């Protein structure tokens, strides 16, 4: 059921808990905001668990909770506790604004892997990118998570003339802390004003790195199966860094991800505008397994069918898709 026509087995489910967020990042949410799905059309905690259980029964071994900001959902604790009963690795992606309130819960349910979005280490720049003034809170919460022993990945979306001058500063965070910094190429979604001129490519990122460190000190780390990133470490640093090169070096051949939106629709690819409604079927007491299988069989080989540079740069292709905030990272 979870294998597509190209032989890719999908054992990693990303579930968006909410379309809402306590930040307003420019690359994720349009300046005017987004039209939110009515609450009655969103998955309840029990519906999230029921759908997740069916995916786990079919072979999913990892679930990551995303948003919006998943932790602002009022029943986030209930959802986390329910999903923790499944035989699956449970992880979360967060902006860390309120993670300090959830540390004991994370420990209780045994969740170790936390991805945090942080695109700058400069407070004023943080305010510009996120349209909110929470830098110190986020920064302190990140290092609280590190001190408590969680596995932390810092996701930094790089944008030209905005934050590419901080690449080395981010890598320096990995010198004394076991933090995995991941630089993400700026990707096109509805409402984020993407164009290729704003892209900081994998090669440009590595040029910054090679200017700052000697070739002998830049160590290539073996990537794990299905990794989206190319992984590196500076010699004798406790942590590491990586580049997620979705635009310039896509990794579609090893994709194992399925996305479930907060309103119960699955996307077989981050870049695909096609969606399959599981929630309506579930509420009508219809089996959702055939819908899942059909959606996976319809998956394109590369980036939702945008398999050439020309297609990828055509606004009509990605404007059919959702804004990032309503997809769920």
CATH of residue 158's domain is 3.20.20.70
Sorted by sequence, the CB contacts under 8 Å of residue 248 that are 6+ apart come out as: 185, 199, 201, 202, 203
Strands 151-158 and 179-185: parallel
> Do 91 and 113 contact (CB within 8 A), yes or no?
yes
Sheet holding 12-16, edge to edge: 218-220, 230-234, 240-244, 179-185, 151-158, 113-117, 89-94, 62-66, 12-16, 257-260, 265-267, 276-277
pLDDT of the residue at 267? 92
1 within domain boundaries: no
Residues of the chain with pLDDT under 50: none
276 within domain boundaries: yes
304 within domain boundaries: yes
Write out the two tokens for 9: 């087995």
CB neighbourhood size of 107 (10 A): 13
94 within domain boundaries: yes
64 within domain boundaries: yes
Place of tokens 């870049």: 271
* Domain span holding position 233: 12-327
Indicate the number of domains in the chain: 1
Which pTM was predicted?
0.91
7 within domain boundaries: no
Degrees, nearest 5: CA angle 245-115-156: 45
Measured distance CA(273)–CA(122) in Å, rounded:
35
Place of tokens 């300046």: 31
27 within domain boundaries: yes
CB neighbourhood size of 240 (10 A): 20
4 within domain boundaries: no
Degrees, nearest 5: CA angle 259-261-201: 55
């Amino acid at each position: 059921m979870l294998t597509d026509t190209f032989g890719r087995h999908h054992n990693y489910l990303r579930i968006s808990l909410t379309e809402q967020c306590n930040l307003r990042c420019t690359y994720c949410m349009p300046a005017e905001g987004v039209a939110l799905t009515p609450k009655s059309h969103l998955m309840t905690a029990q519906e999230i668990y029921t759908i997740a259980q069916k995916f786990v029964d079919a072979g999913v071994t990892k679930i990551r909770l995303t948003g919006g900001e998943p932790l602002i959902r009022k029943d986030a604790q209930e959802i986390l506790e329910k999903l923790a009963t499944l035989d699956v690795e449970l992880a979360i992606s967060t902006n860390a604004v309120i993670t300090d309130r959830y540390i004991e819960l994370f420990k209780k349910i045994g969740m170790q892997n936390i991805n945090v979005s942080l695109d700058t280490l400069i407070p004023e720049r943080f305010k510009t990118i996120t349209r909110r003034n929470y830098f110190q809170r986020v920064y302190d919460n990140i290092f609280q998570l590190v001190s408590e022993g969680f596995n932390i990945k810092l996701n930094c979306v790089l944008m030209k003339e905005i934050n590419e001058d901080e690449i080395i500063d981010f890598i320096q965070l990995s010198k004394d802390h076991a933090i995995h910094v991941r630089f993400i190429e700026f990707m096109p979604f509805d409402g984020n004003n993407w164009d290729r001129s704003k892209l900081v490519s994998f090669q440009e990122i590595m040029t910054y790195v090679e200017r700052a460190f000697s070739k002998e000190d830049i160590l290539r780390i073996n990537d794990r199966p299905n990794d989206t990133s190319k992984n590196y470490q500076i010699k004798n640093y406790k942590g590491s860094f990586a580049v997620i090169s979705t635009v310039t070096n896509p990794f579609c051949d090893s994709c194992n991800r399925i996305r479930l939106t907060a309103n119960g629709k699955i996307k077989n690819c981050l870049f695909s505008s096609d969606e399959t409604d599981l929630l309506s079927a579930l509420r009508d007491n219809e089996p959702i397994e055939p819908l899942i299988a059909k959606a996976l069989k319809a998956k394109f080989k590369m980036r939702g069918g945008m398999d050439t540079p020309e297609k990828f740069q055509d606004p009509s292709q990605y404007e059919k898709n959702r804004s990032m905030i309503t997809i769920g990272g």
